Amino acid sequence: MQLSNLVWLLGSESIFRNRMNIQSLSTPERILLAEELWESVREKSDEIELTPDQVILLESRLKAYESDGELGDSWENVKSRLLD
C-alpha cells in the first residue's frame, strides 16, 4: 500500500502519527520500529515498481560505476572528509 493510500484511509498523516503515538516511544524503540518496517518492505521489494525515470537513473549510475574502475574510498578517507 502506498503512503498516499494509507493517508487516504486514515484521513491525514497527523492522524496516522497520533494513532501510532510514535513520539511516545523512546528513541531506541523508534529505531527498532524503523528497522522492523524497513525489513518488512525489504522482504516485499519485488512488489515495488520503479518508474521509467528511476530505471534510467539507476542504469546511468550503474554504467558510471562500471566505467569508473574504482571501488570507492576507504572509511578513513570518507570519515575524514565528513569531519573536516
**pLDDT for the residue 16:** 55
Q: What angle do CA 25, 31, 33 make, to 5 degrees?
A: 70
**pLDDT for the residue 64:** 86
From CA 42, how far away is CA 22, in angstroms rounded?
A: 22
Q: What is the largest CA-CA distance in the chain?
A: 50
Exposure string (b/e) for 15-51, b if CB count within 10 Å is 16 or more? eeeeeeeeeeeeeeeeeeeeeeeeeeeeeeeeeeeee
What is the band of 66 on the pLDDT scale with cuts at 50, 70, 90?
Answer: confident
Q: List the domain range (segments joined by +) for residue 49.
A: 3-83
**pLDDT for the residue 1:** 46
**pLDDT for the residue 3:** 54
Helix (H, G, I), strand (E, B) or coil at 23: helix
- For 3-62, the pLDDT digits (tens) are 555 545 555 555 555 567 888 889 999 899 999 999 988 888 888 889 999 999 999 989
Domain total of the chain: 1
**pLDDT for the residue 75:** 92
